[in-house]
């Protein structure tokens, strides 16, 4: 739910109309929770659940064990998942439209590196911003600042860093940086790794 609120806040700060609401299903500890978000340039009058999303975000990779989780996705829809598996591994697990866009990120590992805890909301937020362009990083930053301000500047700064790192993970301009005049060569032999500049 926090993640849904962050997306909605970021979209709001980008000047969009938003609607966000959860669906708890079976009320038991550990049961999956669904959250729905509508983002539009116009007023939103619908209040029903979303059955055919344009974007699906899965924050718990164990939910992939439920073969019905991708029901409702159509051609050219998009889903983002927090997973150690790459996109090809995930795509082989399901009989889905071949042109559905799948992107995965190990948000838990990023969160552990930066926050020291497996709290992935802001990592997924940064990734979603980069991949969809539905929300800007400016909106993302404002949303994080508003949502976590009460926890102190250090927590806000770490969550901003986490969102930016996840965003940069998918940004082709930041994945490989070539510095003129500098070349690195890596040679891997059977017994050791040698790095030479």
Distance separating alpha carbons of residues 126 and 139, to the nearest angstrom: 10
Alpha helices in 40-152 (DSSP H): 87-92, 107-114, 121-132, 137-148
The listed range with the strongest mean pLDDT (49-53, 69-73, 193-197) is 49-53
Structure tokens at 95: 């009989």
Give the tens place of pLDDT for each residue, 72-85.
777 767 888 899 98
Q: Which of 72, 29, 31, 33 is nearest to 54 (CA)?
A: 72
Hey, what domains does the chain have and what are their CATH numbers?
2-50+106-196 (3.40.920.10)
What pTM was computed for the model? Answer: 0.80
CB 73 within 8 A of CB 56: yes
CB 49 within 8 A of CB 25: no
- Give me the count of residues in the chain: 197
Give the tens place of pLDDT for each residue, 105-141.
999 999 999 999 999 999 999 999 999 999 999 999 9
69-74-78 Cα angle (round to 5): 75
Structure tokens at 19: 């609607």
Give the tens place of pLDDT for each residue, 174-193.
654 444 545 455 555 444 44
SS3 195: strand
H or E element that contains 163: helix 153-170
């Amino acid at each position: 739910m926090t993640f849904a609120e962050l997306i909605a806040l970021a979209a709001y700060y980008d000047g969009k109309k938003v609607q966000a609401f959860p669906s708890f299903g079976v009320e038991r500890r550990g049961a999956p929770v669904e959250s729905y978000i509508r983002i539009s340039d116009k007023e939103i009058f619908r209040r029903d659940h979303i059955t055919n999303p344009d974007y699906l975000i899965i924050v718990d990779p164990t939910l992939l064990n439920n073969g019905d989780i991708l029901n409702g996705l159509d051609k050219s829809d998009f889903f983002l998942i927090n997973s150690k598996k790459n996109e090809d591994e995930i795509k082989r697990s399901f009989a889905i439209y071949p042109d559905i866009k799948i992107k995965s990120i190990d948000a838990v590992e990023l969160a552990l590196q930066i926050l020291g805890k497996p709290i992935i909301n802001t990592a997924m937020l940064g990734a979603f911003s980069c991949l969809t362009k539905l929300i800007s990083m400016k909106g993302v930053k404002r949303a994080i600042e508003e949502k976590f301000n009460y926890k102190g500047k250090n927590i806000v700064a770490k969550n901003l860093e986490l969102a930016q790192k996840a965003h940069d993970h998918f940004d082709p301009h930041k994945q490989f940086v070539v510095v003129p005049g500098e070349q690195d060569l890596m040679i891997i032999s059977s017994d050791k790794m040698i790095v030479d500049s």
